[in-house]
Structure 1
Amino acid sequence: MAKYLLLKHYRGAPAAVNDVPMDQWTPQEVSAHIQYMNDFAARLEKTGEFVDAQALAPEGRFVRYDGEGRPPVVDGPFAETKDLIAGWMVIDVDSEERAFELAGELSAAPGAGGEPIHEWLEVRPFLTEMPTVTE
């Protein structure tokens, strides 16, 4: 088994087949989209492939160490940006192919008009060991 992160991006501009920005969806369309993802997670819980999932608020801040002990905090990411990380799901599956299969299925979550949005999901394996440097 290997863990993968399915990273869901919110795009403020169309980037998929049926990609109407979510702020233009009806409340029923938003509810149907969330229900699809919840049902998907529940099915993976039964197979033992679900680890965790969270939706993220569009508000956020950037923080970094400044070398002086007090980290600067700046605004961002901004809701006006074209691409925000909207949420993620962690799965634990037998193969990369299975991770791709599940990501493809999750990308079919309904959007405006109840049609699948066919959104792009970022699929990232968890680092299982530190990379080695060879010279």
Structure 2
Amino acid sequence: MAKYLLLKHYRGAPKAVNDVPMSQWTEDEISAHVRYMRDFADRLSASGEFVDSQALAPEGTFVRYGGEGKPPVTDGPFAETKDLIAGWMIIDVDSYERAVELAGELSAAPGKDGEPIHEWLELRPFYGNAPTITE
């Protein structure tokens, strides 16, 4: 088994096919999207492939080491940026191919008008867990 992080980017680059900002979705469309994500996680929990997930608020702060004293802090990221991470999921699967399969399925979560959003998800193996590619 190998653990992978799926990073869900909000309107990231490259853009999703159905790239309508969530602020333009109806309450029912948002509920359907969240339900899809929960059902996906529940199914992976039942198969033993789900580890954890969390949605992230759009507000954030950048912090870095600044030498002595208090570290510098700046606002951001902002919802308008292409680099906003909306959430993450950790999966523990048998192969890289299975991780890609699940990321593709998660990418089909419904958005505006119930259409799959086809968003790009960043798939990253945990350090020390080299992906096993069988192709």
- Is the TM-score greater than 0.5? yes
The letter for the 1-side match of 2:28 is: Q
Q: Contact (CA 8 Å) 2:7, 2:85: kept in 1 or not?
A: yes
Tell me, what secondary structure is at the counterpart of 1:83? Answer: coil
| TM-score when normalising by structure 1 | 0.91
Q: Tell me which moved more, 117-126 or 65-74.
A: 65-74
1:132 corresponds to: none
Change beyond 3 A, Cα 1:89–1:12: closer
**Number of residue pairs the alignment of both structures matches:** 129
Give the 4+ runs in structure 1 shifted more than 3 A: none
| 2:103 is the alignment partner of 1:107 | no
Percent of counterpart pairs with the same letter? Answer: 80
Alpha-carbon distance in 1 for matches of 2:78, 2:17:
24
2:87 corresponds to: 87
Q: Based on CA coordinates, which of the two structures has the bigger radius of gyration?
A: 1
2:7 corresponds to: 7
1:31 corresponds to: 31
1:124 corresponds to: 124
Structure 2 alignment gaps of length 5 or more: 130-135
Q: Structure 1, residues 1-56: CA drift from partner, whole Å, max 9, x if none?
A: 00000000001799222121111111111110010000000000000000000000
Deviation at 1:80, TM superposition (A): 2.0
| TM-score when normalising by structure 2 | 0.91
1:44 corresponds to: 44
